[in-house]
Amino acid sequence: MSICHASELRQTDRVDDLYVPPGPGAPGGLRVPAQELVEQFSRASGPGGQGVNTTDSRVQLSLDLGTTTALSDVQRERVLGRLAESISGTILTISASEYRSQRRNRTAARQRLTRLLRDAVVPPVIRRSTRPTHGSMRRRLEGKRRRSEIKRNRKRPGSE
């Protein structure tokens, strides 16, 4: 009988494809093949009762954004730019340990990865410059005149 430590990780072989629903930047949705996803399990701290030190309930889900076939070149560039601070090299790793069961943590990690990818592929919104309306210019100038009058009235009466 071997003793496993919390720092040791185990990998599983079976993972389903990850599907990201259609949205801005990915009109046909994204499908990440199962062989590109790496799931690792380890012991999580926190609640778990008697099984807390024996079950590997924490899930780490990793995806190499640089080599995945799910993204086009434009999407890859966008995702790498937006997630630059949360990735190591080109590998994005999501950890989930909020639930006691490994299955629920797997689901949570996959949902988090789906949300991250969906938000990261959205194209940037281009700001269109607009002119101020006549009413807003009139109100701004009127406010400046009023403020000027208030300051002018602060002077001594005989200074002019």
Extract the runs of DSSP E, i.e. beta strands, from 33-110.
Answer: 37-42, 58-64, 87-88, 91-96
Q: Give the CA dihedral 133, 134, 138, 141, nearest 10 degrees.
A: 60
pLDDT score at 49: 59
The mean predicted confidence, pLDDT, of the chain is 80
**Strand extents, DSSP E, the chain:** 10-11, 18-20, 30-32, 37-42, 58-64, 87-88, 91-96
Q: Residue 99 and residue 105: Cα distance in Å, rounded?
A: 6
Q: Does residue 132 surpass a pLDDT of 90?
A: yes
pLDDT in tens, 82-111: 888 887 888 888 888 888 788 888 889 989
Residue 124 has what pLDDT?
86
Looking at residues 110-124, what average pLDDT do you find? Answer: 89
pLDDT above 70 for 6: no
Pick the most confident of 23-37, 106-120, 141-155: 141-155
pLDDT at 105: 87
* Architecture of the structural domain at 10-120: 2-Layer Sandwich (3.30)
**Higher-scoring residue by pLDDT: 108, 44:** 108
The whole-angstrom separation of Cα 159 and Cα 79 is: 65
pLDDT at 99: 82
pLDDT tier at 32 (50, 70, 90 boundaries)?
confident
Torsion over CA: 46, 51, 53, 59 (sign): negative
Residue 92 DSSP SS3:
strand
Is residue 129 predicted with pLDDT exceeding 70? yes
Identify the pLDDT of residue 41.
Answer: 82
Query: Which single residue is written with the structure tokens 């994005």?
Result: 92
Domain extents in the chain: 10-120
**Of residues 44, 43, 83, the one with CA closest to residue 64:** 83
Residue 136: predicted pLDDT: 96
Strands 58-64 and 91-96: antiparallel
Length of the chain: 160
Contact status, residue 106 vs residue 10, Cβ threshold 8 Å: no
Strand partners, 61: 39, 94
CA distances from 91 to 34, 86, 104, 120, 158 (A): 15, 9, 23, 15, 75
Give the range among 23-27, 48-52, 92-96 with minimum mean pLDDT: 48-52
- What's the pLDDT at 133? 95
